[in-house]
Amino acid sequence: MTNNPVAVFDSGIGSLSIIRELKREVPNEDLLYFADRAHFPYGNKSHQQLREIMVNTINYLRRYKPKLVVVASNTPSVQVLDEVRRMITDLPIIGVRPPLKEAARLTKKKHIGIMATEGTIGSKELKIQIRREVPQHILVTKFNASPIIELIEHGVHLENERRTFDIISRVLGEGVDEKMDVITLSSTHLPFVKTYLNALLPTVRFVDPAQIVAKDVRKFLKFYRMAKKSGTGKLQILVSDGKREFEKSVRAMGIREPVEEVFLTF
C-alpha cells in the first residue's frame, strides 16, 4: 500500500496548486493527477449532480489503486464531501475548504473576503462553516469568482493580461482594500492569478489553503504508516476532455510529464 499513489482531482487545472504543495511536502510520494474537464465547472452543478460526480470519479480512480484521494476542489469539499465519505467507507478522502479560521486570525480590520465559485458562495454549507469558524465581530464578504476560474481553465491568464485584470477587477469591485485586509482563495484555480491579485490589492493578504491540505496529507500518511520512505515521486496526469488546451496550459506552467486523455461513461 505504501507504494500506491495519492490521487488528486478536480474539474481541471486547479489541482495543480495542490500538486505543487504536495511535491514539496511529500516528495517521495507518487501522485496521480486527474483533471476532470468533462465535468468543468463544478461551481454550477446542483448538490445531487456534485455528489454523483464525486462518487463516480472516486470509484473510477480505484483502477489506479490509490491509497488516498484528495478532492482538490472547494465546491464539492464544502457541499458534499461529508455525504460522499459516508457512501465510500473503504478509501480515505481528504478535501480542501476555505481557510476561514486562518483568515479570521490574520485580519486586523475585522473584515475578511471569500473568493469562491458561484456554487460555494451560495451554499448553505458555507454559511454553516462561516458561523462555526468566524467570530461574530468579524464581517465576511463573498465574491463570486466563477468568471476568473473560467478564464484560468482556458489559459487566458497566461496570454491576455488586460482581459485577466479586467475580469478580476469586475469580480472584486471598488474599494475592497479599504474595507478588508484578508481574502481566502477558496478555489484551487485562484492561486494561479495571485500575481494579478497582489498587483491590484497590494495591502490585502491572500490565503491559499493548498499548504494546509499538503500538510494534512503528510500527517495522514505518517499517522497511518502509509508514507513512502524513499524514491523520487512520479506524477501521472489524466484529463477527461480538451487535452490539447489543457496540455498547453500545464506546459506553460512548467509541467513536463505526458498527459493521457481518458473517456468517462458518467
Q: Which residue has the cell 469591485?
A: 173
pTM of the model: 0.95
pLDDT for the residue numbered 256: 96
Instruction: Give the number of residues written for the chain.
Output: 266
In contact, 236 and 33? CB cutoff 8 Å? yes
Tens digit of each residue's pLDDT (9 = 90 or more) over 41-98: 999 999 999 999 999 999 999 999 999 999 999 999 999 999 999 999 999 999 999 9
Helix (H, G, I), strand (E, B) or coil at 69: strand
Mean pLDDT score, 150-164: 96
Domains, the chain, ordered by start: 6-96+210-261 (3.40.50.1860), 100-207 (3.40.50.1860)
At 203, list the grid cell.
Answer: 495591502
- At 111, the pLDDT band (50, 70, 90 cuts) reads very high
Per-residue pLDDT tens over the stretch 207-249: 999 999 999 999 999 999 999 999 999 999 999 999 999 999 9
H-helix or E-strand spanning residue 235: strand 235-239
Q: Angle at Cα 212 formed by Cα 259 and Cα 199, nearest 5°?
A: 80
